Structure 1
Amino acid sequence: MKRRNFIGLTGLGATGLASGALSAFPSGIFASHLQKDLIATELNATLVIAGGGIGGCAAALSALRNGLDVIMTEETDWIGGQLTSQGVPPDEHTWIETHGAPQSYRDYRNAVREYYKKNYPVTAAAKSRQYLNPGNASVSALCHEPRVSLAVLHEMLAPYISSGKLTLLIEHKVRSAEYSANRVKALKVQSLRSGRSYILSGTYFVDATETGELLPMTGTEFVMGTESRNETRELHAPLKADPDNQQAFTVCFAMDYVPGSNNVADKPAEYDFWRNLVPKMSPAWSGKLLDLNYSNPKTLEKKTLGFNPNGSPTDPFLNLWNYRRILAKDNFIPGAFKGDICTVNWPQNDYTLGNLVGVSQKEFDHHVGRAKQLSLSLFHWLQTEAPRPDGKQGWPGLRLRKDIMGTEDGMAKYPYIRESRRIKALFTVLEEHVGQENRVQVAGAEAGKKAADFYDSVGIGYYHIDLHPSSRGNNYIDFASLPFQIPLGSLLPVRMENLLSANKNIGTTHITNGCYRLHPVEWSIGEAVGLLVSYSLKKQVIPQKVREGKQLLEEFQEFIGKQGVETKWR
């Protein structure tokens, strides 16, 4: 890997990274010290990935597995995105244990289970379960702690870091890009710890950021928010387009419960505001936000949820305590844990009062700060006012588990952002391709049994189309989709030749993003991107040519199939 110095770019700090291997440690401690000067070091790799979330990690792993050298940046000190720094256990379909995702994703999931069995005091019964669910949660068959995902991902990447094939720049943010015509030449990144700048040059670049940050920096055409029904012909699209109409984001947190203790602290600064807020939604929300009533996502009728840390998984209504529980003490020997641990990513802490996409850093920080106040207020409300089955109010034994999220305030390191800038792609997935009702409307009853077949499929996935309340006051939009394919054309910008998308920024619409934004699909997208770069380099063609050429495309699909990627549903 070449390293040379560029004069004239300001290095603002005294420390930085001289070795990719040293940057891999989750602590974020840098063992190298570079001279404080006005020089920015250039790092060069075949593939440069901005964003170390699920898609970024999957892209890196598949590229590294095929012999490429990679630089990957990550804004926080934890790689893994939704799984780690955002504190969101995986949302998956019911077939995930056997098919419907790449083999590498199932390898990751199996490694999570093995980590618990090897390192935790699990009971004999739990250890014997092939499909151990550490949290016994209702939302996923693999609800687990963020740090376990972090450890597994680092283990998967460790050999490449040691060999020098991967340079991992944690706590680094992309500040600008150099590009001309249809190609990206380099990215300028800055260490958030030292202030030192680096120039990352490469042959291919991947935007795996949570908000599609590279798109405006590189002049890549993109869309935001909602498209109009006239543009997309989608059954659930609004009449008018609105780039500022985006799904809520959430700042998650973790908590446990110690009966008989009192962990109530002073109420958060904005508690009174959030305690009395009635969301302005259309159709109307069911009442105050901090309540156990909410709008049923599918019918929008008022629905009551339960919350009981002492409750049973067989409670007659959904017990939020069990919903995203990441550690169930019953899976471990008696006395190992004082109680269960669960993460909070609920209707009550969805933030709809502003967006994080396409805004200034000041505005981004402002809304994240308020979203943290919302989550802290929800936690305080649960401790002090939440209705209990015994007629009392509040659960003072609830504890905010700052250690689980690895932060001083107990909030996740990064917000869970459901919607990003999206490339104007060679092919855009529409509701008529994957939405059951829309397919019936467009192509008849038979079409409503199966999603559209994409000749250029490079992966598969499934989730219902799930849009959370939006910044413009839309209530839930939640309806049936069909097991779908990931078309290669959705990963390719209409013009740029060496920039690929590997997160929620692919060629979907506001509507279809609702089923392409979940954990295994993001992994599948990243996997396909890493393999596409490898194959394109081998054939000495740009990725667009792979899609255009029948023989090249068939060879590519065979190539990825041999590496455990499914392109068709069984």
Structure 2
Amino acid sequence: MKRSRRVSAGKSIISLSFSLISLLSLAPIARSVSDGTPDETVTCEILVVGGGLAGAATAYEGLLAGRTVCLTEITDWVGGQISSQGTSALDERPTQRSRLFYSRGYLELRERIRRKYRELNPGDCWVSESCFIPSDAHDILLDMLRDAAKRGKGTLKWFPSTVIKELDYNPTGNLIKSAIAIQHQPALDALPLNTFPLSKTIEDWYQYPNSPRFDKTIIRFVPQNSSPGNVPDWYVVEATETGELIGLADVPYRLGIDPRSHLEPSSSSATGNPYCTQGFTYTFAMEATKEPQSHEMPPFYPQYEPYYSYELPRLADFDLVFTYRRIWSPKKGEPEKFSGISFTAPTVGDISMQNWTWGNDYRPGTEVDNLVYTPDQLQATGQLAPGGWMGGLRTESLRKAEELSLGYFYWLVDGTTDSQLGDGVKEPHPSYRYLSGLDSPMGTVHGLSKYPYMREGRRIIGRPAFGYPEGFTIWEIDMSRRNYREEYYRQTLSPKMYRQLWTALAGREAISVIQGEVSPDEVNRRTRSTIYPDSLGIGHYAIDFHPCMSFSPPEAPGNTEREGERQGAGQAYPFQIPLRAMIPQKIDNMLVAGKSIATSHIAAAAYRVHSFEWSSGAGAGTTAAFALEKGIAPFELVDGLPPHDPQLQVLRRRLEANNNPTAFPDTSIFNQDWDDWR
């Protein structure tokens, strides 16, 4: 099974021409059958699956606590959003950023970016205070993890290009005993990693046998130490971008739109829709040139041309779009302003990363094109059968998203249409080139990000708890600043649901509303997020939607965003990350970090950005190390709430002592003044 490995050499820059486009249309490779016998066994105390920011933060805290951490990642870069997904523009809110109120590891990451470039914003972008090169982010984070291992006397075992194929459980099924993974590397005389787009390789990665493109090493991960009885002797942390282990383990989870309720009153569906998740994006980089470039139209461009748009009149300016997420600017341009937005003009050598809603966002929303398979779809495709797991994604949607992104570059430089604003808005801008090659910002021959930027995947349903009989969940009303006095809510919600909404929003007046002493129309709503006694981290961002489209295919002429999906969009109060949102049902030695914690569809639109991911990972890593030290399972810390478990308070104090905040300053049921937090 395991062949001798070699270092792949050679770098190339390929223009956006048919030679690159043809990488998308290669026929799949024939494969044989294998039984998946492990080539090697690796021991861990904490197995982190997913090397994005949440997974990196989990590993960082585990290493500082002196633990042996195995970190696996489907790509060969650590960092997720800021590296392999290409979204290297830190999403931050002004108040939190001005106070630098973040987890210690996130602050270290920001400082290392500053040291790397001698400034925090080498791209001079205007969407963020920090835009930088994705390939640099991988190096920065890997150095951070190695240094954390030295400082904490922990051990890092890093497994890039690795996917989890199978999980093995104890007889009662509540503990993961081992995990079988497949690591791939280029086969002898094959092309280097990152030559082909994800859609052309992902199915191969989940197959046991070697193939003409890849040699495989089958790895069995097991606990480093064995404990007697039913006490977990290691922890598996789900930190993937789509909730992969959640799907594989088949624990209860949600996907897509939740049914409208008093907890999720802005939902676009009365019954819910698992196929409508937020759009996902293959980012790419483009460079400003002195002379006009020759650009060949991709053969599939006419299919996607009806989709592309600047979206809004106030955004309909090429320079504005290019500098939005500019990640490198060797020379600062002249000041410009468009629709009240200030930025500096592009100059030769500037590099921009593109991530645009009506550009390279691919937004399927039906059962025939949804990216993340539902439980029924997983069952129907055989992925829940022993050895049948293939990642839980629709490969065809990945392929079409790749085409959409390549077509979007052509639209930017040569297009003259605009699906939302009409004729006469879009003009060609030929003095730009598409960056590709192993030494390009995305580190791929094809120029697209190694993995798409995922805004939403599977979200666990936490365990039933006091006040949460159907399973713990963070809902829309737990953090939204929305004005629920709008007539929309009185007209859309039933009288009973409307009363329940205002009872839930009443805060300290709730008992008076329940007893009928105060009517819903008299309630002074609380002006803060829900406060959780088991909070392990923090986050703050707007509820930001990239809605699915109404029908299939997403790029069809005249297609529209799903009606009502943006109803829940808007500002949010600073919020918390409770431990109960990180504990799945059924399995006692799994923790969830990142976007797959127990949130609703609307809450997830805010619980997805960079600093949140890091804070959730810091909570997961600290909790796993603490549970191993104390010989307890995390659910034992919260199953008695609302009365506090003394050990829970010890865990929270440890986080705070390590400069990992669990609450924002002045968080209290008596503090209703959060207007300054923007």
Fold conserved (TM > 0.5)?
yes
Counterpart residue number, 2:331: 330
**Correspondence for 1:115:** 116
* Cα deviation, residue 225, structure 1: 1.2
Deviation at 1:164, TM superposition (A): 7.6
Show structure 2 runs of 5+ residues with no match.
12-35, 186-214, 224-233, 334-346, 382-389, 419-423, 464-471, 486-500, 507-522, 551-560, 666-678
| Structure 2 residue aligned with 1:33 | none
For residue 201 of structure 1, what is the aligned residue in structure 2? 222
Q: Tell me which residue corresponds to 1:293.
A: 311
Q: Deviation at 1:219?
A: 3.4
Between the aligned partners of 2:174 and 2:549, the Cα distance in structure 1 is 34
2:614 matched to 1:523?
yes
Distance across 2 between alignment mates of 1:392 and 1:372: 22
Q: Is the 8 A contact 1:536 1:546 kept in 2?
A: no
**Which residue of structure 2 aligns with residue 169 of structure 1?**
159
Per-residue deviation, residues 510-559 of structure 1 (Å, max 9, x unmatched): 11000101111011101100000111112111011223452111111111
Matched, 1:425 2:440: no
Aligned to 1:153: 141
Is 1:468 aligned to 2:479, yes or no?
no
Equivalent residue in structure 2 for 1:435, among 467, 472, 480: 480
SS at match of 2:221: strand
Q: Using a 3 Å threshold, how does the CA distance of structure 1 residues 350 and 160 change in structure 2: closer, same or farther?
A: same
What amino acid is the match of 1:559?
R
Contact 1:134–1:331, Cα closer than 8 Å, also in 2: no
Q: State the alpha-carbon separation in 1 of the partners of residues 294 and 302 from structure 2.
A: 20
Matched, 1:376 2:406: yes
Mapped to 2, the partners of 1:208 and 1:44 lie a distance apart of 19
Distance apart, 1:446 and its partner CA: 4.7
Q: Which residue matches 1:257?
A: 288
> 1:77 aligned to 2:76?
yes
The answer for the alignment partner of 2:632 in structure 1 is 541
Deviations 1:286-325, CA, capped at 9 Å, x for gaps? xxx212234xxxxxxxx4423334xxxxxxxxx1112111
Pick from 536, 541, 544 the counterpart of residue 458 of structure 1. 536
Aligned-pair RMSD on alpha carbons?
A: 2.8
Q: Does 1:63 align with 2:59?
A: no
Contact 1:53 1:82 in 2 (8 A): yes
What SS class does the counterpart of residue 182 from structure 2 fall into? strand
Match of 2:445 among 399, 405, 408: 408
Identity of aligned residues (%): 29
- 1:355 pairs, out of 370, 375, 383, with 370
Give the equivalent residue in structure 2 for 1:499. Answer: 590
> Which one of the candidate residues 379, 387, 393 is aligned to 2:427?
393
Q: CA deviation at 1:72?
A: 0.8
Query: Which residue of the partner structure matches residue 266 of structure 2?
Result: 235
Aligned to 1:345: 355
Q: Which residue of 1 aligns with 2:648?
A: 553
CA deviations 1:320-379 (Å, max 9, x no partner) are 1121111122369xxxx8421111100121112333212665963321121111111111
Which residue number corresponds to residue 279 of structure 1? none
- Between the aligned partners of 1:52 and 1:327, the Cα distance in structure 2 is 24
Letter paired with 1:420: G
Runs of 5+ unmatched residues, structure 1: 1-10, 28-36, 118-126, 277-288, 295-302, 310-318
Which AA in structure 2 matches 1:464? A
Name whichever of 454-463 and 466-475 sits farther off.
466-475
SS at match of 2:305: helix
Partner residue, 1:562: 657
CA deviations on 1:14-43 (whole Å, 9 max, x unpaired) are: 1479xxxx9xxxx9xxxxxxxxx9552111
CA distance, structure 1, for counterparts of residue 262 and residue 184 of structure 2: 40
Q: Does structure 2 retain, via aligned residues, the 8 Å contact 1:491–1:502?
A: yes
Distance 1:363 1:498 in 2: 25
Mark the CA change 1:233 to 1:351 in structure 2 (over 3 Å): closer, same or farther: closer
SS at match of 2:272: coil
User: Equivalent residue of 1:465, what SS?
Assistant: coil
TM superposition shift of 1:460: 1.1
Shift of the 170–330 alpha-carbon distance from structure 1 to 2, 3 Å rule, reads same
Q: Match of 2:316?
A: 306
Q: Is the 8 A contact 1:439 1:448 kept in 2?
A: no
Amino acid aligned to 1:225 = G
1:223/1:392 CA distance change after superposition, 3 Å? closer
1:123 match: none
Q: Which amino acid is 1:369 matched to? A: R
Asked if the contact 1:439/1:447 (under 8 Å) is kept, the reply is no
Which of 266, 269, 274 aligns to 2:299? It is 269
Q: Give the 3 Å change call, closer, same or farther, for CA 97–187 of structure 1 in structure 2.
A: farther
CA gap of 1:363–1:59, structure 2 versus 1, over 3 A, is closer
Distance 2:584 2:442 in 1: 35
Change (3 A) 1:40 1:455: same
Structure 1 counterpart of 2:543, which letter? I
Considering only CA atoms, is the larger Rg found in Structure 1 or Structure 2? 2
- Which secondary structure state, in structure 2, belongs to the residue aligned with residue 229 of structure 1? coil
How far apart are residue 470 of structure 1 and its match?
1.1
Over 3 Å counting, the alpha-carbon distance change for 1:446 and 1:535 in structure 2 is farther
| Shift in alpha-carbon separation, 1:446–1:66, aligned structure 2, 3 A | farther
Q: Alpha-carbon deviations, 1:495-514, whole Å to 9, x = none?
A: 32100101211000111000
Q: Give the aligned residue type for 1:227.
A: D
> In the alignment, is the contact (CA less than 8 A) between 1:431 and 1:438 conserved in 2?
no
Task: Give the Cα separation in 2 of the matches to 1:262 and 1:216.
Answer: 45
2:286 is paired with a residue whose SS is strand
Cα 1:455–1:160 shift into 2, 3 Å: closer
Equivalent position SS for 2:42: strand
Q: Name the residue aligned to 2:191.
A: none
Write the distance in 2 (CA, Å) between the matches of 1:433 and 1:38: 47
Report the alpha carbon displacement of residue 224 of structure 1 after superposing the two structures with TM: 1.2
Does the CA contact (< 8 Å) of 2:290 and 2:348 recur in 1?
Answer: no
Q: In structure 1, give the amino acid aligned to 2:93.
A: H
Call closer, same or farther: CA 1:481–1:178 in 2, change over 3 Å. Answer: same
